C-alpha cells in the first residue's frame, strides 16, 4: 500500500520507517506548498489548531497524488502549561485513510527544542556567535529578519543559515533594513534544518504506527489506543483519591468502543492530599 506524505521539508526519513515496518505502508512525497498552512517565521499565520491543520495538510497531499491514504505532520511551540518559563514542543502526525473513514492523530512532546531568538544590533558579535552555537550551527540552521520590518516594503526572512559568514551578512542586511536598526535571529524550526525537531516527529510517527498496528476489539478498525486518562488514583496508605491517573482509557478512532486499563499500583502517599497536604 502507498500513501502520500505532504512535505517539502524532508520528513520522510522520520515518518516513513515506522509506518513501513509496522504497517507495510510506503510513503510517496507529495510536493504541496505546506507553507500556505502557516510558517514558523510568521509570514503566514497558521489557520487553526495544529491537530486540525495537520489533517488539512494530509488531505492536500492526497489530492495532489490521488492516494486514498495520506500522512502529514505539524509542530507547535509554546509555553509549557505547567512550567511557563519552559517551551513545550508538540509534534502531531496524522494518518487519514478514506477507504475506511479513519482519521488518527498521535503526538509526541519535548522540552528540549532549540526554539529561541536573539534581537541584536550586530555590534556584540560574541553574543551572536554564542546564540548560534546554542541553536546548534552548523547541524541546525537559523533565520534572520529585521526586528521591525521597514514600512511599506516586504523584507524577506533569510532562512536555512548554517555558516557564520552567511549569518553575519544576513544580520548586517537586516540591521540596515530594520526601522529600529536591529535584527531578529531565531532557530530555524523547519524539520529538514532541525534534527532535534525531526527526532520528536519520529517519536510521534512511531506512536502512530504502534497504535495503527492495534485493531479495535469491537469493529476491527486499526488504531485502538489511549484516548484519555481517569483521575483519582487512590493513596496506598489511606485510599484517598489523588490527582494521579487511576487508569488509562483506550478507544477506537472510528466507533464508540472504549475500555479502561487500571493503574498497576496505588499512589505513593507523598502525592496524597490527606497524608501529605
Q: Which residues bind Zn ion (CB under 5 A)?
A: 216, 218-219, 221, 235, 237-238, 240, 252, 255, 257, 269, 272, 274-275
Q: Give 86 or 238: the residue with its C-beta nearer to Zn ion.
A: 238
- The least distance separating Zn ion from the CB of residue 236, rounded to whole angstroms, comes to 7
Residue 10: count other Cβ atoms within 10 Å of its Cβ: 13
Q: Pick between residue 105 and residue 128 the one whose CB is nearest to Zn ion.
A: 105
Which CB, 62 or 233, lies closer to Zn ion?
233
Ordered DSSP codes for the chain = -EEEEE-SS-THHHHHHHHHHHH--EEEEE---GGGG--TTSSS--SS-HHHHHHHHHHHHHHHH--SEEEEEEEEEEE-SS-TTSEEEEEEEEEEETTTTEEEEEEEEES-----EEEE-S--HHHHHHHHHHHTTTTS-EEEEESSPPTTSPPPPEEEE-SHHHHHHHHHHHHHHSTTS-EEEEE--SGGG-HHHHHHHHHHHHHHHHHHTSB-TTT--B--EEEEEEE-PBBTTT--B-SSEEEEEEE-SSS--EEEEE-SSPBPGGG-TTT--
Is 83 or 227 the residue whose CB approaches Zn ion more closely?
A: 227
CB 221 within 8 A of CB 102: yes
CB of 256 to Zn ion, least distance (A): 8
Least CB distance from residue 167 to Zn ion, whole Å?
A: 52
The grid cell for 6 is: 505532504
Q: Which is nearer to Zn ion, 7 or 242 (CB)?
A: 242
Task: For the CB of residue 277, give the shortest distance to Zn ion in the complex, in Å.
Answer: 10
* Nearest distance from C-beta of residue 251 to Zn ion, angstroms: 8
* CB of 136 or CB of 266, closer to Zn ion: 266
Whichever of 191 and 267 has its CB closer to Zn ion, that residue is 267
Main-chain dihedrals φ then ψ at residue 120, nearest 5 degrees = -140, 150
User: Least distance to Zn ion from the beta carbon of 224, Å?
Assistant: 7
- Minimum CB separation of residue 255 from Zn ion in Å reads 3
Bond from prior residue into 192 cis (ω within 30 degrees of 0): no
Whose cell is 512511531? That residue is 206
Amino acid at each position: 500500500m502507498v500513501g502520500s506524505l505532504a512535505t517539502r521539508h524532508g520528513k520522510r526519513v522520520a515518518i516513513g520507517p515506522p509506518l513501513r515496518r509496522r504497517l507495510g505502508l510506503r510513503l510517496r512525497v507529495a510536493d504541496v506548498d505546506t507553507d500556505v498552512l502557516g510558517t514558523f517565521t510568521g509570514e503566514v499565520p497558521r489557520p487553526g489548531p495544529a491537530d486540525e491543520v495537520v489533517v488539512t495538510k494530509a488531505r492536500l497531499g492526497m489530492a495532489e497524488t490521488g492516494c486514498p491514504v495520506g500522512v502529514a505532520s505539524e509542530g507547535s511551540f509554546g509555553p509549557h502549561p505547567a512550567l511557563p518559563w519552559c517551551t513545550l514542543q508538540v509534534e502531531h502526525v496524522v494518518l487519514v485513510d478514506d477507504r475506511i473513514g479513519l482519521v488518527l492523530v498521535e503526538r509526541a512532546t519535548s522540552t528540549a527544542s532549540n526554539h529561541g531568538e536573539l534581537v541584536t544590533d550586530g555590534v556584540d558579535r560574541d553574543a551572536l556567535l554564542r546564540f548560534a552555537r546554542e541553536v546548534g550551527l552548523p547541524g541546525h540552521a537559523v533565520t534572520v529578519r529585521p526586528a521591525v520590518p521597514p514600512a511599506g516594503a516586504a523584507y524577506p526572512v533569510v532562512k536555512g543559515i548554517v555558516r557564520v559568514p552567511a549569518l553575519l551578512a544576513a544580520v548586517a542586511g537586516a540591521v540596515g533594513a530594520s526601522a529600529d536598526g536591529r535584527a531578529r535571529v531565531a532557530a530555524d524550526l523547519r524539520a529538514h534544518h532541525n534534527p532535534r525537531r525531526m527526532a520528536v516527529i519520529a517519536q510521534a510517527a512511531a506512536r502512530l504506527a504502534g497504535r495503527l498496528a492495534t485493531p479495535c476489539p469491537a469493529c476491527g478498525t486499526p488504531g485502538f489506543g489511549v484516548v484519555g486518562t481517569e483521575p483519582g488514583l487512590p493513596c496506598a496508605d489511606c485510599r484517598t483519591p489523588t490527582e494521579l491517573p487511576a487508569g488509562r482509557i483506550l478507544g477506537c478512532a472510528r466507533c464508540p468502543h472504549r475500555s479502561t486499563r487500571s493503574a498497576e499500583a496505588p499512589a505513593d502517599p507523598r502525592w496524597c492530599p490527606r497524608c501529605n497536604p
